[in-house]
Amino acid sequence: MRIESIHIYGFGKWIDQHFSFQQDGHIEIAGENESGKSTLRQFILYMLFGMKAKQIERFTPKKGSTVGGRLTISGLADQTVTIERVHGKHKNQAIIYGNNGAQMDEEWLQSALQGIDRKEFQSIYTFDAHDLKQIQDLNNESLHEVLLAVGMTGSDRIYHAERVLEKKLADWFKPYGKKPEINQLFQELADLKNELTNAKEKENQYQQRLVEIEQLEKHLFQLEQEKSSTKENQEQAEKRLTHYALIEDYYFTNAKLKRQNQNMMFPVEGLKRLNEWKDSILPLKSEEQVLRNNVAEIEQQINSLDLIPDEKLEKIEFGLKLKNEIDQIEAEIEQIRTRISTIEQEIITKLDSMQINLTIEQLRETELPFYLEEAWADLANQREKLTLEKQYLENDRSSTAKMKQELLEEKEQLQKSLLEQEQVKQYKNEIEQVNQVDNQTKQQAQFQKWLQTYQKQIKISSFALLIGFIIGVALFFVTDLVWSIVTVVLAIGQNIAMRLYGQAFKQWLQPGQEQLASLSQAEINERERIIQQQSELQHKLIEIEKERQKSQNEQLKQAERLSFLQERINQIEQKITDQQKQYPFLSNVELTYWPRLYQQVITQKEKLLDIKQLETETNNLEEHKREQQQTFDLLELATMDLKLTIQEEQARRTEYVQLQTRREELQSKLASIVEKQKPYQQEINQLLQKAEVETEEAFIEKGEEKEELDVLQQKSNQLYDSLAVIFTEGEIKQIADGDFEDEHTLQILRDECQQSVNETTEKIKEKQSLLSDQKASIAMLEANEDVSILKHQLAIKQEELQEAANQWAVYQVALANVTEAKSTYSQKYMPQVFEQASHYFNKLTLGRYQHIYIEDNETIIVEDREGFVFHVIELSQATKDQLYIAIRFALSHVMANRLALPFLIDDGFVHFDANRKEKVLEIVAELSKDHQVLYFTANATAKASITL
């Protein structure tokens, strides 16, 4: 897919603007800050995915214009299409025009984009410098969702199907629900079984068999308890066998710890501190040795100088002076004066033309060292670089402040929508009271049902009492008085027992009559909606507060950096002021021209030296021209090269003075270096004293013993944490003391428990078989019509439940297949993503980092060329940026075969150095073979295609 052209009706600062993107390779769009680069990128996103009304307000032109435009795209379909989107028209939906005049709607656009929405597009195909911080939140799950969203054909239908299946499953069954169909069938089955049980109890006249069934069930319960207890012992043995290696490791680790000296005296991080002090003192010792060597070398040079005695040197100098005056006094004196006048006039003319208010006398007194030109050029470069960096930082700071203000405004809007906590609490209490009313109604219905049953039982008991009296009277006349009394007593006893039972159960079952709130279903739904809405608002406020804290932290960092840059700029300005004080003629000259001015001034300075030499020669010639020849002859120096001898001697004497000065400076530095070493040596001695050792070797040996003790303690703690998840505190203490069974004993105990479980299981089967026979015998005696009806109803409900369960299972299998398909797709493409990302990351870091992995299927880690592994949080900010860009590029590369969307990069490499920026631009050029890349930047290069 390629963006061929853009026509903006109105969007932010752009009004009736047209852009064409026909170039090959990546397209660089350059412009200064506030030139509209980010606005152009947001316009492209708006045309493809739309934008909320509140967000569009930010891009409404101040001078008034229709918000919207056109986007001409090729490669999205079989033909080139034009997307038109105008705010306020067609319900803010996009209209797509084909070459043949056909019109398509936004659904066609989303289908052509294979379900990619704005969030997913921004997660891969567009980013800026602020987005690079998201690498700390990037994990396997988010990468998996992105891959599925952009890679699978028809992914929007898969997501829709997954949501539908989840909803269907929830409609059929919820573990703690009441409204789903299967939950209702379960409740109806439970009610039918309760009614069937009650019906059976009414017609059961075989108490003995019921007693036997009860005894069998009790025996079965005991067997089950015995089986469960044995299984617990077996599971305990299995658990110890499974983690026997961990138990044994913990025991041996604690045994080693007990053998160690737990009270070892050693300073905290002693080895590290010793190494730090030694590292600090080592450069000083090295510098001390260098200084001593330099002092010895200078002393050797001083001793090697062979100086001429002062008396002889004066004689030679005098002779040379006389000889020069003799040779030149008559012929050159007038010529020298003319030359001096000419040079002075040249200097005055040149100084006037430079307009720097510098006279010949001032020039003669001014010292211009050889390094001054380079120092001035460096000052100019530093000031320009710092000023530019400060400007960029101020722009970033303004953007961060604007984002923070937007978050505060959104937070205030949300807070206005919040209700008082007392109101929300009142709604929750009302809903709880409504639930209590429902429970009270159910209890009342159950009580009425029991009351009807009890009244029938009272009638039967009263009838049995009457029959008992009749039988007792009959027995009194037929047999004897004893049987008559027994019969009457039994009849009266059962009636009394029935009435006592009724009174007791009536007090127990009869529900309370407390008055509770009553709400309609609509009021209940409204209160539940308000409670849910308030909860969501609270969650949004928390998220906004987190974002605000991030923006505030970013502001602090920017302020700190800005303060640092201002301090650097002040330092540069102070250096400039110092130079102007030292060289007043610089005050009216721009800093950038100082190096060129240096060359011109130094040239005039050299001319002054010529003038001085000419004046000296003129004075000497006039003063001594009469007596020169006679005095020179008396000196007897005609055979000696006087000038060369004097020059060599002056050079040696100058070198002698310089060596003396240099020796004194080095001796002073040497004393200072020796003094600086004392605090470090004192710190090292204190470490040795705390460790109660005499030498550094003994200190290191004791430190290694301490580290070994710490490693054992850490390992013991880790093993303890692992065991604490499995065993109790007492069991872990027993393990540490060695009070645990060996592996062979545990295996024997496990086998014995298994055998006992098998034997108990056989007994349970026998009892269950006998119980089934007894129940079958009683079932044959059931002739009550209510039982048959309830059984029929129960069978029907069971069939309905079976059908519902089958349907629920179908949806469950379908959902599992969809989930498995997503996982399979991720497993197929995720290795490709990380392989390509590793290639890009290796290139961006100049070969320092070789591979990128997912640790424990959750977090991203990287490996350097030496095999060391780092988490994202351990990397520098620049390396995090490079990692994020590598993953972004790798995702787009893997997805290119299915959907190659344009890449929008908004100054994403602003913090890269020159080498890494060159590498990332090479990757962008490589990426542009499969994707169209629009690179927005404030730092234009020679390849800039569009300049805003």
- Single-letter code of the amino acid located at 305: L
Q: Is the pTM of this model over 0.75?
A: no
The DSSP result for 466-527, as a single string, is HHHHHHHHHHHHHS-HHHHHHHHHHHHHHHHHHHHHHHHHHHHHSPP--------HHHHHHH
Nearest CA-CA partner of 12 in 50, 52, 68, 51: 68
pLDDT class of 911 with cuts at 50, 70, 90: low
pLDDT of 436 reads: 65
Per the CB < 8 A criterion, the answer to whether 660 and 307 are in contact is no
CA 156 vs. chain centroid, Å, equals: 29
Per-residue pLDDT for 396 more than 50?
yes
Contacts of 706 (CB under 8 A, 6+ apart): 264, 266, 270
pLDDT of 435 reads: 67
* CB burial readout 286-307, b (16+ within 10 A) else e: ebbeebeebbeebeeeeeeeee
Contacts of 688 (CB under 8 A, 6+ apart): 694, 695, 696, 699
Per-residue pLDDT for 263 more than 50?
yes
Tell me the CB-side half-sphere exposure of residue 596, using CA atoms within 13 A.
6
Helix (H/G/I), strand (E/B), else coil: 11: strand
Q: How far apart are CA 499 and CA 849, in angstroms?
A: 88
Q: How far apart are CA 597 and CA 257, in angstroms?
A: 77
More confident residue, 789 or 314: 314
pLDDT of 69 reads: 92
**Average pLDDT, stretch 843-861?**
80
Counting residues of the chain whose pLDDT is more than 70, the rounded percentage is 82
Tokens for 178?
């009441």
- Single-letter code of the amino acid located at 44: I
DSSP 99: T
Per the CB < 8 A criterion, the answer to whether 302 and 659 are in contact is yes
Contacts of 934 (CB under 8 A, 6+ apart): 3, 21, 26, 27, 29, 41, 44, 902, 903, 904, 905
Beta sheet of 81-86, edge-to-edge order: 14-20, 2-11, 68-74, 81-86, 95-97, 103-104
**Average pLDDT, stretch 410-419?**
79
Q: How far apart are CA 487 and CA 471, in angstroms?
A: 7
pLDDT of 556 reads: 86
Digit-coded pLDDT (tens) for 881-893: 788 788 878 877 7
Digit-coded pLDDT (tens) for 534-552: 788 888 888 888 888 888 8
Q: To the nearest 10°, the Cα dihedral for 692, 698, 701, 704? A: 40
> What does the mean pLDDT of the chain come to?
77
pLDDT of 135 reads: 47
697: buried, middle or exposed (CB in 10 Å: 19+, 13-18, 0-12)?
exposed
pLDDT of 333 reads: 78
Contacts of 412 (CB under 8 A, 6+ apart): none
User: What are the Cα distances from residue 52, in Å, to 59, 113, 470?
Assistant: 11, 20, 91
**Average pLDDT, stretch 186-200?**
73
**Average pLDDT, stretch 298-319?**
79
pLDDT of 702 reads: 73
Per-residue pLDDT for 164 more than 80?
no
pLDDT of 163 reads: 64
Per the CB < 8 A criterion, the answer to whether 143 and 895 are in contact is no
Helix (H/G/I), strand (E/B), else coil: 79: coil
Most distant CA pair in the chain: distance in Å? 194
Helix (H/G/I), strand (E/B), else coil: 22: coil
DSSP 369: -
pLDDT class of 897 with cuts at 50, 70, 90: low
Q: How far apart are CA 317 and CA 647, in angstroms?
A: 10
**Average pLDDT, stretch 687-714?**
75
pLDDT of 515 reads: 47
Beta sheet of 27-30, edge-to-edge order: 126-128, 903-906, 933-937, 27-30, 944-947
Per-residue pLDDT for 840 more than 80?
yes
> Out of 172-176, 427-431, 889-893, which region has the weakest mean confidence (pLDDT)?
172-176
Distance between start and end Cα atoms, the chain: 24
Element (H, E) at 862: strand 859-864
Per-residue pLDDT for 53 more than 50?
yes
pLDDT of 153 reads: 38
The DSSP result for 711-734, as a single string, is HHHHHHHHHHHHHHTTS-HHHHHH
Q: How far apart are CA 611 and CA 339, in angstroms?
A: 8
Q: How far apart are CA 639 and CA 323, in angstroms?
A: 12
Nearest CA-CA partner of 705 in 248, 250, 255, 256: 256
Q: How far apart are CA 475 and CA 479, in angstroms?
A: 5
Question: How much helix, strand and coil, in percent to the nearest 5, is found in the chain?
Answer: 75, 10, 20
Task: Please tell me which of 165-179, 503-517, 743-757, 801-815 the model is most confident about, judged by mean pLDDT.
Answer: 743-757
> Out of 245-249, 501-505, 509-513, 701-705, which region has the weakest mean confidence (pLDDT)?
509-513
The DSSP result for 814-858, as a single string, is HHHHHHHHHHHHHHHHHHHHHHHHHHHHHHHTTTSEEEEEEETTT
Per the CB < 8 A criterion, the answer to whether 87 and 68 are in contact is yes
Q: How far apart are CA 683 and CA 672, in angstroms?
A: 18
> Out of 190-194, 565-569, 748-752, 832-836, which region has the weakest mean confidence (pLDDT)?
190-194
More confident residue, 909 or 937: 937
pLDDT class of 430 with cuts at 50, 70, 90: confident
* CB burial readout 242-252, b (16+ within 10 A) else e: ebbebbebbbe
pLDDT class of 152 with cuts at 50, 70, 90: very low
pLDDT of 172 reads: 67
pLDDT class of 822 with cuts at 50, 70, 90: low
The DSSP result for 570-617, as a single string, is HHHHHHHHHHHHHSGGGTTS-GGGHHHHHHHHHHHHHHHHHHHHHHHH
Q: How far apart are CA 890 and CA 779, in angstroms?
A: 72
